[in-house]
């Protein structure tokens, strides 16, 4: 499997939001759902099936990994970004920044 993050771009919005949700601390399914909803201003509400389908694909791609959560988290399984997942997220952010920069330049040119 290739590990060049550029080859995975662009990401779907759901994938991007899940990766962003996991970029700070490991989270279990419910916390990821809430974070995705918050990040998208409640525009995207994932169902449990959609969430775990996406997590399955991300696990297969080795962008995230499963960890055993602490006892105070009711022993739930949690997920965290792998190094590859973090690299993919960074590459996607750079791509989006570049697009935004170009768009702003053109918009500024158009309004002058």
Partner 1 sequence: MINCVLMGMHALTLRLYPKRFRLEFGEELRETFACLLDEAGTHGAVLRVCWHEAYQYPRSVMRAYQHTLARHWQQASEKELATVRWMTRGLSLFVLWFLVTVAWQGVTKDVSPQAVPLVLMSAITAVCISIAWWREHIGGWLTMHTSLSMGVVLFIVATSQQGSEYVANYFLAYFLYIVPSFITGSLFMSLSKAERNPRSLA
Chain residues binding partner 1 by CB under 8 A are 1-2, 4, 7-8, 11-12, 15, 28-30, 33, 45-53, 55-58, 60-61, 76-77
Minimum CB distance to partner 1 smaller for 33 or for 81: 33
Query: Cβ distance 84 to 63 under 8 Å?
Result: yes
Could you tell me the smallest distance in angstroms from the CB atom of residue 111 to partner 1?
37
CA distances, 42 to each of 31, 46, 74, 75 (Å): 14, 10, 27, 28
Q: Give the integer Cα–Cα distance in Å for 41 and 30.
A: 17
Could you tell me the smallest distance in angstroms from the CB atom of residue 108 to partner 1?
33
Minimum CB distance to partner 1 smaller for 90 or for 106: 90
Minimum CB distance to partner 1 smaller for 2 or for 111: 2
Could you tell me the smallest distance in angstroms from the CB atom of residue 106 to partner 1?
28
């Amino acid at each position: 499997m290739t590990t060049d993050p550029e080859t995975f771009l662009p990401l779907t919005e759901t994938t991007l939001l899940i990766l962003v949700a996991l970029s700070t601390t490991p989270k279990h399914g419910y916390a990821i759902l809430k974070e995705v909803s918050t990040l998208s201003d409640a525009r995207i509400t994932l169902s449990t099936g959609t969430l775990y389908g996406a997590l399955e694909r991300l696990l297969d791609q080795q962008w995230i990994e499963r960890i055993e959560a602490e006892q105070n988290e009711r022993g739930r399984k949690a997920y965290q970004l792998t190094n590859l997942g973090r690299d993919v997220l960074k590459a996607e952010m750079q791509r989006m920044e570049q697009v935004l920069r170009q768009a702003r330049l053109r918009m500024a040119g158009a309004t002058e």
